[in-house]
Amino acid sequence: MSAAGHRRLEIEEVGDVTVAQFVDRKILDETNIQIIGNQLFSLVDDDDREKIILDFSNVEYLSSAALGKLITMDKKVKQARGQLRLCSIRPDIYEVFAITKLNKLFSIFENRDKALEGF
Protein backbone atom coordinates (compact mmCIF):
# COMPACT_ATOMS: atom_id res chain seq x y z
CA MET A 1 0.00 0.00 0.00
CA SER A 2 1.42 3.38 -0.92
CA ALA A 3 1.70 6.18 1.61
CA ALA A 4 0.45 8.68 -0.96
CA GLY A 5 -3.16 7.65 -0.42
CA HIS A 6 -3.12 8.26 3.31
CA ARG A 7 -4.42 11.45 4.76
CA ARG A 8 -1.76 13.16 6.78
CA LEU A 9 -4.27 15.42 8.52
CA GLU A 10 -7.32 14.71 10.65
CA ILE A 11 -9.90 17.35 9.78
CA GLU A 12 -12.56 18.31 12.28
CA GLU A 13 -15.20 21.03 12.10
CA VAL A 14 -15.85 23.02 15.25
CA GLY A 15 -18.66 25.41 14.33
CA ASP A 16 -17.32 27.45 11.41
CA VAL A 17 -13.70 26.69 12.33
CA THR A 18 -11.70 23.93 10.64
CA VAL A 19 -9.24 22.15 12.93
CA ALA A 20 -6.54 20.20 11.11
CA GLN A 21 -4.51 17.89 13.32
CA PHE A 22 -1.27 16.43 12.00
CA VAL A 23 -1.24 12.63 12.05
CA ASP A 24 2.53 12.16 11.84
CA ARG A 25 4.89 12.49 14.79
CA LYS A 26 7.78 13.44 12.53
CA ILE A 27 7.19 15.64 9.51
CA LEU A 28 10.47 15.15 7.66
CA ASP A 29 9.89 13.12 4.55
CA GLU A 30 9.70 15.25 1.39
CA THR A 31 6.84 13.20 -0.05
CA ASN A 32 4.82 13.48 3.15
CA ILE A 33 5.45 17.21 3.29
CA GLN A 34 4.12 17.52 -0.29
CA ILE A 35 0.99 15.59 0.69
CA ILE A 36 0.51 17.67 3.84
CA GLY A 37 0.99 20.87 1.84
CA ASN A 38 -1.55 19.80 -0.78
CA GLN A 39 -4.08 18.82 1.88
CA LEU A 40 -3.63 22.13 3.71
CA PHE A 41 -3.81 24.21 0.54
CA SER A 42 -6.97 22.47 -0.64
CA LEU A 43 -8.73 23.58 2.57
CA VAL A 44 -8.38 27.13 1.27
CA ASP A 45 -8.30 26.63 -2.51
CA ASP A 46 -11.01 23.99 -2.85
CA ASP A 47 -13.12 24.24 0.31
CA ASP A 48 -12.96 28.02 0.84
CA ARG A 49 -12.31 27.62 4.56
CA GLU A 50 -11.46 30.89 6.24
CA LYS A 51 -10.88 29.96 9.88
CA ILE A 52 -8.26 27.28 10.24
CA ILE A 53 -6.44 25.93 13.28
CA LEU A 54 -3.43 23.67 12.83
CA ASP A 55 -3.08 21.37 15.82
CA PHE A 56 0.49 20.17 16.43
CA SER A 57 -0.20 18.01 19.49
CA ASN A 58 1.11 14.84 17.79
CA VAL A 59 4.15 16.46 16.19
CA GLU A 60 7.57 15.81 17.73
CA TYR A 61 9.73 16.93 14.85
CA LEU A 62 9.27 19.31 11.94
CA SER A 63 11.70 19.88 9.07
CA SER A 64 12.47 23.27 7.55
CA ALA A 65 10.68 22.16 4.35
CA ALA A 66 7.54 21.69 6.45
CA LEU A 67 7.95 25.24 7.79
CA GLY A 68 8.03 26.43 4.19
CA LYS A 69 4.62 24.83 3.58
CA LEU A 70 3.24 26.55 6.69
CA ILE A 71 4.46 29.94 5.42
CA THR A 72 2.80 29.31 2.03
CA MET A 73 -0.37 28.23 3.83
CA ASP A 74 -0.36 31.44 5.86
CA LYS A 75 -0.08 33.51 2.65
CA LYS A 76 -2.96 31.59 1.04
CA VAL A 77 -5.21 32.06 4.07
CA LYS A 78 -4.42 35.78 4.23
CA GLN A 79 -5.10 36.21 0.50
CA ALA A 80 -8.47 34.54 1.09
CA ARG A 81 -9.09 37.05 3.91
CA GLY A 82 -9.05 34.19 6.39
CA GLN A 83 -7.26 33.48 9.64
CA LEU A 84 -4.78 30.77 10.49
CA ARG A 85 -3.95 29.79 14.05
CA LEU A 86 -1.47 27.22 15.33
CA CYS A 87 -1.77 25.38 18.62
CA SER A 88 -0.21 22.73 20.87
CA ILE A 89 3.35 23.20 19.63
CA ARG A 90 5.97 21.46 21.77
CA PRO A 91 8.58 23.74 23.39
CA ASP A 92 11.48 22.40 21.30
CA ILE A 93 9.53 22.96 18.07
CA TYR A 94 8.36 26.37 19.27
CA GLU A 95 12.02 27.27 19.72
CA VAL A 96 12.50 26.79 15.95
CA PHE A 97 9.56 29.15 15.34
CA ALA A 98 11.14 31.68 17.73
CA ILE A 99 14.65 31.45 16.19
CA THR A 100 13.25 31.90 12.67
CA LYS A 101 10.91 34.70 13.91
CA LEU A 102 7.93 32.67 12.66
CA ASN A 103 6.35 33.07 16.08
CA LYS A 104 5.77 36.69 14.95
CA LEU A 105 4.19 35.60 11.66
CA PHE A 106 1.81 33.00 13.08
CA SER A 107 -0.82 33.30 15.78
CA ILE A 108 0.27 30.53 18.14
CA PHE A 109 -1.88 29.31 21.02
CA GLU A 110 -1.13 27.01 23.93
CA ASN A 111 -3.92 24.54 23.11
CA ARG A 112 -6.95 23.97 20.91
CA ASP A 113 -9.44 25.55 23.32
CA LYS A 114 -7.42 28.76 23.53
CA ALA A 115 -7.06 28.82 19.73
CA LEU A 116 -10.83 28.49 19.33
CA GLU A 117 -11.55 31.35 21.77
CA GLY A 118 -12.78 34.47 20.01
CA PHE A 119 -12.28 33.02 16.53
pLDDT in the model for residue 1: 37
Query: Which sequence spans correspond to the domains of the chain?
Result: 3-116
The CATH superfamily label for domain 3-116 reads STAS domain (3.30.750.24)
Q: Nearest to residue 36, comparing CAs of 51, 16, 14, 58?
A: 58
Does the pTM surpass 0.85? The reply is yes
pLDDT in the model for residue 90: 97
* C-alpha count within 13 angstroms, C-beta hemisphere, residue 12: 11
Query: Cα-atom radius of gyration of the chain, to the nearest Å?
Result: 13
pLDDT in the model for residue 7: 83
Q: Write the pLDDT tens digit of every residue in 50-65.
A: 999 999 999 999 999 9
Q: Which residues of the chain have pLDDT under 70?
A: 1-5
